[in-house]
Homo-oligomer: A and B are copies of this chain.
Amino acid sequence: MTALVTLGEAMTVVAADNPGPLTPGKPARLSFAGAEATVAIGVSRLGHSAAWIGRVGADAGGAMIIGGMRAEGVDVSHVRTETALPTGLMLRERRTADHTRSTYYRRGLAGSRLAPGDVDEHLVAAARLLHITGITPALGSTAREAVRHAVGIARNAGVTVSLDINYRSLLWSKDEAAAELDYLVRQADIVFAGPEEAGLVVGDAPPERTAQALTALGPRQAVVKLGSEGALAIVDGVVLAQSPVPVTVVDPIGAGDAFVAGYLAAHLDGAAPAERLLDAATCGSFAISVQGDWEGLPRRSELSLLDGDDVIR
């Protein structure tokens, strides 16, 4: 039995090392990224089994993604390798120390070929949590069906469904997204959203009102991620606020997904709502204090590291 199952796209990342426009000879680092992959890795590092379903190309990037997740203990036995299409890729320019701009190579590539047949019914039905995001249904029609298919299996089997709205404006229009996301929110038990993207589904409102409106659609747990402001949640009708855990920021990308990982791992632990939010914020801070989307996520034994003082020699 796998505690958490998720599905989506993971892409090769090429991230320039230093701020500034790209120039011939500029150094960069390779890695991979994907909102759902980050959640799976985060939950696995915190000690719960996790599986990621997706498609990669039969190329160097695909092999890096499979090996990278396997290193983290994520079950990748359900990943399919497309022989004819390359793995998606994201080229990140750090235009200034604070502003990253990405060029995406993903349309029509391996990851977007995710289809209902990729979703193993037994795997999902035996899980404790199914985590989905609003990115996957935006990848294409078969990917959208795959998400709906997985959600259907989960609901039939009584598996808790978690949704991170994660609206991507480059992938679909607001109207198209609003309709699908509204459907998914209504199927979910736990929903995460930033304030703006939540507005697509429940209209613009202050965070607490947004959380209330989300729970009104069905989910018993609604968490509004507020970035450097922390988070506001309504869990079983109770309003909770969470401040960020202070750290030196190295790379702000991936904070939201790390937050979700921390929350869901604590949920799997059976932790109380306030503890889920604290673990979520802790994971978010770990993520941004290390370069890369998922590289900084904490292992179980490390969760308390940010509480303590710096190690002094």
Interchain CB contact (< 8 A) of A23 among B18, B25, B89:
B25
A28-B29 contact, Cβ under 8 Å, with A35-B313, A252-B312, A310-B99: yes
What is the CA–CA distance of A104 and B253 in the complex, to the nearest angstrom?
Answer: 26
Inter-subunit contact B102/A86 (CB<8 Å): no
Stretch at the interface among A53-61, A213-221, A230-238: A53-61
Across the interface, name the chain B residue whose C-beta is closest to A289.
B96
Inter-subunit contact B24/A295 (CB<8 Å): yes
A98-B24 contact, Cβ under 8 Å, with A71-B71, A227-B312, A253-B313: no
Q: Which residues of B contact A156 (CB under 8 A)?
A: none
Copy tally for this chain in the complex stands at: 6
Query: Which residues of A from 89 to 104 have beta carbons under 8 Å from B?
Result: 89, 91, 93, 95-104
Chain A contact residues, CB within 8 Å of chain B: 12, 14, 16-33, 35, 57, 59-61, 63-64, 67-68, 70-73, 86-87, 89, 91, 93, 95-105, 108, 194, 227, 247-250, 252-257, 286, 289-293, 295-296, 299, 302, 305-306, 308, 310-313
Given pairs A20-B292, A96-B289, A99-B305, 11 additional interface contacts (CB within 8 A): A18-B291, A21-B63, A21-B296, A35-B313, A67-B71, A68-B71, A70-B70, A86-B105, A105-B105, A255-B312, A256-B313
